[in-house]
Chains A and B, each alone.
Chain A
Amino acid sequence: MRRKSLLERIRLFGRAAIDVLAVLGRSWLFLLHALIGRGGIGGSFQLLVKQLYSVGVLSLAIIVVSGIFIGMVLSLQGFNILSSYGSEQAVGQMIALTLLRELGPVVTALLFAGRAGSALTAEIGNMKSTEQLSSLEMIGVDPLKYIVAPRLWAGFISLPLLAMIFSVVGIWGGSWVAVDWLGVYEGSFWSNMQNSVSFTDDVLNGVIKSVVFAFVVTWIAVFQGYDCEPTSEGISRATTKTVVYASLAVLGLDFILTALMFGDF
């Protein structure tokens, strides 16, 4: 293979940088057109309800099952470590803080990207490849308002609610293992949790995190579908990108948000 000259490498790097900037620019315009202006969410409440069902309700099963198991595993691990210090009564506090601050928002967002995000990308990509989006445009209906906006809003609304449900069932699963199986005193389990969990510092910060993740994951998912190459290979690539980009964005943003919310600089 021919070796690339330094000038050629600089040119390729510059081209790649311009492409990235172009995608960023397109994604912002896409978001603004979808959410702002005439024919927004007000006129499409039924579409929103339909998407809330497909994006939110249909994700419930995976969220609930994962939440229960993660809570149960946390309980087992927590009990194992804390009992060696004679502090097994604090396992409730540990489970609640871990779920509300970190695992609830982060794992829900990752699962959401895999279940609902990939489905959104594939659905919109398929509409593009079968000319349904073009068809809407020519009927005089803006696909950004009719197809994209309800899905964006459904994601923004669903993910924080799913994260709350995840934390609640996780705590319930943890209490089942700790109290009913391992014999931690029920009063200590719940009262330690109640005393140590702050609504503003823990619950609210967790909700803020999940709102940010909801925004980013849903935006990435619908944009990848809308911007994909309208072929089977293009849709497959876009779906993969959604899961990879959304997961990395969630983990990166989680670090930044945690540093801002809980960091003591």
Chain B
Amino acid sequence: MSVDNAYAVELKGVTFKRGSRSIFNNVDIRIPRGKVTGIMGPSGCGKTTLLRLIGAQLRPASGEVWVAGQNLPTLSRSDLFDARKQMGVLFQSGALFTDLDVFENVAFPLRVHTQLSDEMIRDIVLMKLQAVGLRGAFELMPDELSGGMKRRVALARAIALDPQILMYDEPFVGQDPIAMGVLVRLIRLLNDALGITSIVVSHDLAETASIADYLYVVGDGQVLGQGTPQELMNSDNPRIRQFMKGDPDGPVPFHFPAPDYRADLLGKR
């Protein structure tokens, strides 16, 4: 089966379960090539799971995950590792290698996947670090960096091999306003400068909507809505409106399901 060239990633009829609980149920998602696509939804709705499905770190119970013309769940273990060279992921924690300094963290993908000389690797690493504004920090160890700096180093490492697809897992969580502003600008800048496809998984509405060309809102194991940020803001779907406006109560209730409050308070203990 072929895929549409306009899309860098296509999920077709994907169902994923943890035990008997269904996380995604027959989901179809298409990520346009060369654009920033946001995947949004409330905490715990499976956004990170979706990234792991795209990266084939998880296998769906059924359905197809097409990335760069390959249906990843059907690939062998070694082919899968080859296919991942075209992807970069910025993990929520940064996931820097704690025994390597900043320079070696960024150089790592180049050392394991290329035969470049040390001089060439040095130049590339410094260019990547310059792109994220941390060239001066190349000698520091990960435990000497702030949370925002760690993510920027991880971003430099993620783009070291010039991937076609860059995925961001909750990039804005726990960042101060300055670090958040830097990351927002970098995601857009890298996407446009490198001509890559960016997938941003986040529940930070304002930041994601400000840089995304296209948004998906997921919840209850399904795609609740999709469109440009403006289209979703004006959506008639009450669940999407609740999420986009940040209303505490609505179709997604404020209270976790519980017995009657009065009966619970006055009832037998």
Contacts and interface: CB of A to CB of B under 8 A. Distances in A.
A27 B84 CA distance: 25
Nearest to A138: B89
B62 interface: no
B73 to A, nearest CB: 15
A135 B84 contact: no
Contacts of A33: 77
Nearest to A44: B112
Interface of B: 52, 55, 57, 77-78, 81-85, 87-89, 91-93, 95-98, 108-109, 112-113, 154, 157, 161
A257 B10 CA distance: 56
Nearest to A139: B109
Interface residues of A, number: 16
Nearest to A145: B81
Contacts of B78: 37-39, 142
Contacts of A140: 81-85, 109, 112-113
Given A138-B55, A141-B112, A131 B92 contact: yes
A131 B91 contact: yes
Given A139-B84, A140-B82, A130 B113 contact: no
Interface of A: 33, 37-39, 130-132, 134-135, 137-142, 146
A141 B81 contact: yes
A132 B154 CA distance: 11
Contacts of B93: 130-131
Contacts of A146: 112
A122 to B, nearest CB: 13
A39 B109 CA distance: 15
10 contacts: A38-B78, A132-B96, A137-B84, A138-B55, A138-B89, A139-B113, A140-B83, A140-B84, A140-B113, A142-B78
Contacts of A39: 78
Contacts of A135: 89, 91, 95-97, 154
**Closest 3 A/B residue pairs (Cβ):** A135-B95, A131-B95, A140-B85
A139 to B, nearest CB: 5
A135 B89 CA distance: 7
Given A131-B93, A131-B95, A142 B77 contact: yes
Contacts of B161: 139
